[in-house]
Amino acid sequence: MQLFVFICAAVMILAGAVGVIVRSHPVHAALSLVLTLFGVAVMFVSQDAHFLAAVEVIVYGGAIVVLFLFVIMLLGVDRAESLRIDPVKVQRPLAVIVGLGLFGLIGGAIIEGRKTLTARGTGLDTATDAASHDSNIKQLANDLFSNHVFAFEVTSVLLVIAVVGTVLLARRPGKSGPVASAAEVAARTESTTGASAK
Amino acid sequence: MLAIDSLVEKLGLATVLIVLLKMLVVFAVGLVVTMFMVWFERKIVAGMQNRTGPNKAGPFGLLQTLADGMKLIFKEGLMPDRADSFVFRLAPYLAFVPAFLVWTVIPLGGDFLHGKDGTIKIFGHRTFVQLADPPIGVLLLLALSSIAVYGIMLAGWSSGSKYPLLGSVRASAQMVSYEAALGLSIASVLLISGTLSTHGIVGGQNSLSKWSVIATGVVPFVIFMIAGTAELNRPPFDLVEAEQELVGGFNTEYSAFSFALFFLAEFMNTVTMSGVIVTLFFGGPQPVKFDLGRIHFNGDIHLGPFSGTVWFIAKVLVFLYVYVWLRGTLPRLRYDQLMNLGWKVLIPASLGWFLLLAAQRVASDNDWNKWLVSAISIVALALCAGLLTAAVRVSAKNRDREGAMF
């Protein structure tokens, strides 16, 4: 049963990952990413990490990819791109090198740590204690809010900084004085396009 | 695998049959309930507007929805030229499937009389009257509502025309915004219940004073109700289908069966949201028990294993009526009002209330003076609220001076 679930989820993950790269349409690529995320969530469930699975779907599937789609739709880049054109020439060879490097790293890590991967550690056993329904979440919360509380707080500060930064960037430059009205902007763009046409 | 039903010790033919039976019942009941919900809503709204409503198909027009559904199935499904055909076909299912899946974790009944734990016996096996009781329970609801956003968003985008796109951007922005307030008010309930499993949440609310609506102090319930209505895109938050502005919203280009799926999902979401409200705040299938000296009632309505279901249906009907009532009486909000309400009122209020409940919890754990802690936290929260109002006022003034950002 475990093997069957693993194969299904692995097929989902790989199909999604290949789809992200191969599909030339940004929206289709984003949807393939959702497929991958769901596959990972299934993997988590089959490993009894229910909370991680839920968070994976809520945060990554429900918020981050929705944000991607918003940006794609609102910026109007939702057109298929040709994969033949390469805007930056070094990009592809570099991508191949980085990809191989990453593959090597992960492979090395698996070979190096194969003993700890196959052994049932104490951490996993206690986290999936069958006696309590919510042990998964309780363990996670205890660990996060006691051992790693400082990192947790710093992360939230980072998020606040990101929000403030976004607001600052989105503000128009030149705080004082009224900003150009839409008509003025239109007139300005018209004059510049007219000039370039001449 | 035990996550499907924590009472099942090993998989046998009987347990598999029970799960299959439950699936079938949940699916059929879900569809039938939705059908009657459409009829119910049309009848009640008709009554509020001095009309008769559907009265031709079947007794009291009960089969009207069935007739409409048949008609939609036999119609031709059109697809716009500029539509993205794969996503256009996929989107209705993305809206419909999550609406159905919510039913799996809602406790639909059970025997809670005299302090029993809500299990019933089928074929000699003890089981819950709910399809699944996963450890993440309530989080599944949030996950599904975030998947439902995809259905609406992609439907609007893949139609390849302007009005559906605008409608879907509006709808998904609204749903994403209100999800935060929804989640924070659920968090208050979880703080009281101490478990994520829906069965556990229901089990803890075994007397009137332990119902979460009272135990959490009503505010989370009010916020959940408002945010839930916005999440459903129902009036007064139905800007998604503001006919004057957007033709028909995200589903303008849909016809025939795909449209039927959206329609079904919308009404099913209303029913499931009522079910979720009852589960989280009103004890789900728990009987109403009260003891006022001479008048007392222990909730026994002499129906054995079905009593929980009867209580559940009775409670859900109240909320279904409230939803229809809101639709019949409230005018639609403007878009900026909707966003202001969501971000500047509901999210801070639900967060503040959550912190207040958490402070009280810490106080009771450490044997501190409950009243002193409450007073201090209320003062602190009032200060924060004042600061927030001041900030909002300053930014409004700046906006007036500099013009809108976008």
pLDDT at A90: 82
Q: Is the pLDDT assigned to residue B397 strictly greater than 60?
A: yes
Chain B residues in contact with A63 by the CB 8 A cut-off are: 146, 176
Strand runs (DSSP E) across B108-222, as ranges?
119-122, 125-128
Q: What is the DSSP letter of B55?
A: -
Q: Is the pLDDT assigned to residue B69 strictly greater than 60?
A: yes
Closest chain A residue to the Cα of B86, Cα to Cα: A28
Residues A127, A52: Cα–Cα separation, whole Å: 12
Residues A93, A6: Cα–Cα separation, whole Å: 33
Band (pLDDT 50/70/90 cuts) for residue A159 is: very high
Q: What is the DSSP letter of B290?
A: E
The residue among A16 and B209 whose pLDDT is bigger is A16
State how far the alpha carbon of A149 is from the alpha carbons of B87, B351, B360, B362, in Å.
43, 20, 21, 17
pLDDT at A150: 92
Beta-carbon separation of B146 and A51 below 8 A: no
Q: Does B10 touch chain A (CB under 8 A)?
A: no
pLDDT in tens, B304-330: 777 788 888 889 999 999 999 988 888
Q: Is the pLDDT assigned to residue B263 strictly greater than 90?
A: no
Closest CB from A45, A53, A137 relative to B196: A137
Q: Is the pLDDT assigned to residue A189 strictly greater than 50?
A: no
Beta-carbon separation of B405 and A172 below 8 A: yes
The residue among A24 and A156 whose pLDDT is bigger is A156
**Per mean pLDDT, which range of A71-85, B148-162, B252-266, B299-313 is the poorest?**
A71-85
Contact B165, B139 (CB under 8 A): no
- Residue found by looking up tokens 């029913």 in the block: B271
Closest among B134, B175, B169, B174 to B153, alpha carbons compared: B169
Closest chain A residue to the Cα of B138, Cα to Cα: A54
Q: Can you tell me the mean pLDDT for B363-389?
A: 89
- What's the distance, CA B39 to chain centroid? 20
Other CB atoms within 10 Å distance of the CB of residue B116: 13
Q: Is the pLDDT assigned to residue B193 strictly greater than 80?
A: yes
Q: Can you tell me the mean pLDDT for B54-74?
A: 85
Q: Is the pLDDT assigned to residue B22 strictly greater than 80?
A: yes
Residue B344 burial (10 A CB sphere; 0-12, 13-18, 19+): middle
Residues B76, B276: Cα–Cα separation, whole Å: 36
3-state SS, residue B216: coil
Residue B27: in which H helix or E strand, if any? helix B13-48
Q: Does A136 touch chain B (CB under 8 A)?
A: yes
**Per mean pLDDT, which range of B170-179, B225-234, B244-253 is the poorest?**
B244-253
Q: Does A34 touch chain B (CB under 8 A)?
A: yes
Q: Can you tell me the mean pLDDT for A68-86?
A: 74
Q: Does B250 touch chain A (CB under 8 A)?
A: no
Residue B181 structure tokens: 């307030």
Q: What is the ipTM of this complex?
A: 0.78
Q: Can you tell me the mean pLDDT for A34-49?
A: 88
Closest chain A residue to the Cα of B142, Cα to Cα: A58
Q: What is the 3-state secondary structure (H, E, C) of chain A?
A: CHHHHHHHHHHHHHHHHHHHHHCCCHHHHHHHHHHHHHHHHHHHHHCCCHHHHHHHHHHHHHHHHHHHHHHHHHHCCCCCCCCCCCCCCCHHHHHHHHHHHHHHHHHHHHHHCHHHHHCCCHHHHHHCCCCCCCHHHHHHHHHHHHHCHHHHHHHHHHHHHHHHHHHHHHCCCCCCCCCCCHHHHHHHHHHHHHHHHC
Strand runs (DSSP E) across B220-321, as ranges?
290-292, 295-297
pLDDT at A194: 41
Beta-carbon separation of B179 and A62 below 8 A: yes
Sign of CA dihedral B312, B314, B315, B319: positive
Q: What are phi and psi of B207, to 5 degrees?
A: -145, 165
Would you tell me which CATH number, out of the four given (3.30.70.2190, 1.20.120.1200, 1.20.120.1630, 2.60.120.380), belongs to the domain A1-85?
1.20.120.1200
Band (pLDDT 50/70/90 cuts) for residue A197 is: very low
Beta-carbon separation of B142 and A133 below 8 A: no
Residue B402 structure tokens: 């500099």
Q: Can you tell me the mean pLDDT for A101-122?
A: 79
pLDDT at B7: 53
Band (pLDDT 50/70/90 cuts) for residue A81 is: low
Band (pLDDT 50/70/90 cuts) for residue A17 is: very high
pLDDT at A180: 47
Beta-carbon separation of B403 and A178 below 8 A: yes
pLDDT at A178: 47
Chain A residues in contact with B165 by the CB 8 A cut-off are: 73
pLDDT at B1: 36
Band (pLDDT 50/70/90 cuts) for residue B241 is: confident
Give the minimum alpha-carbon distance from A193 to chain B in angstroms, rounded to a whole number.
22
pLDDT at B3: 42
Interface test with B, best of A56, A77, A133, A166 (most B CBs within 10 A): A133
Q: Can you tell me the mean pLDDT for B268-286?
A: 88
Q: Is the pLDDT assigned to residue B277 strictly greater than 80?
A: yes
Q: Does A58 touch chain B (CB under 8 A)?
A: yes
3-state SS, residue B8: coil
Record the pTM.
0.83
Q: Can you tell me the mean pLDDT for B125-147?
A: 81
Q: What is the mean pLDDT of chain B?
A: 83
- Residue found by looking up tokens 């109007």 in the block: A76
The residue among A138 and B318 whose pLDDT is bigger is B318
Domain limits of chain A? 1-85, 86-133, 148-198
Band (pLDDT 50/70/90 cuts) for residue B405 is: low
Other CB atoms within 10 Å distance of the CB of residue B305: 15
Q: Does A140 touch chain B (CB under 8 A)?
A: no
**Per mean pLDDT, which range of B21-25, B316-320, B390-394 is the poorest?**
B21-25
Q: Can you tell me the mean pLDDT for B361-383?
A: 88
Beta-carbon separation of A133 and B195 below 8 A: yes
Closest CB from B1, B134, B165 relative to A73: B165
Residues B49, B227: Cα–Cα separation, whole Å: 26
Q: Is the pLDDT assigned to residue A183 strictly greater than 60?
A: no
